[in-house]
Amino acid sequence: MKKWRCSVCGYVYDPAAGDPDNGVPGGTAFEDVSETWVCPVCGVGKDLFEPVNGDESEAGNTGGQPAAAGADRPVAEMGKNDPKAMQSALFKISYGLFVVTSVKGDRVNGQAANTVFQVTSDPMRIALGINKANLTHEFITESGVVGITILGEDGHDLVRRFGYSSGRDKDKFAGLEYVRGATGVPLVTGGIAFIEGRILRDQTVDVGTHTLFVAEVVEGAVIKDTEPMTYTYFRKTK
């Protein structure tokens, strides 16, 4: 069975060992682990795990960065459709860290996410990738609205709060200061900026385990003019 690595902290899930301290017995394939399970080291969800390929499985915890496969090869030898090399290249893509929120009736929920980006400036539109198994996905799909809280470099606790567990098991907003936006979504006040969007349902794309939502920006503002949290910065300073 394939091992899986947390792309935030580098923890490697070994199916042979499982995670018995958190209710996952040895011999459990990663695909069979509950969707509410989280990384026992940093607390992010399953959607931030990547499969470990080939000899990487023997490397253990490497901080989330796979070996730079093919880095020393001459350019003429590249283009071999090497999955390990391609995965290494994907790890070089830069990401931010955000709290993505939505509503369903009188309920609110949110999750940590790294795939949020601007698509166009005129009209103002953003896109975000959300795992179909996440409760936030259910809320966004039903309500058609989404809130994005952009985190600053002091946002580690918010990443852990919204990445540690599923909203099916706990109220992530309990005891947390937030405000309701124009669309009704909760916006965490601890960020440096916020964006609200309405989902363009005819532009929603099924990409397998995730849905790519495209949203029209209907509100937004900067709260603190400081540097945003990047995925790399969080991993280095967690």
Identify the structural domains of the chain with CATH numbers, from first to last: 1-92 (2.20.28.10), 98-237 (2.30.110.10)
Residue numbers of the chain with a pLDDT score lower than 50: 55-71, 73, 76
Are 117 and 125 spatial neighbours (Cβ–Cβ below 8 Å)?
A: no
Q: What is the 3-state secondary structure (H, E, C) of 129-148?
A: EEECCCHHHHHHHHHCEEEE
Structure confidence at residue 79 (pLDDT): 60
Q: Integer distance in angstroms from the first to the last C-alpha of the chain?
A: 29
Residue 61 token pair: 């915890």
Structure confidence at residue 48 (pLDDT): 82
**Residue 145 and residue 141: Cα distance in Å, rounded?**
8
Q: Residue 37 carries which side chain, given as an amino acid letter? A: W
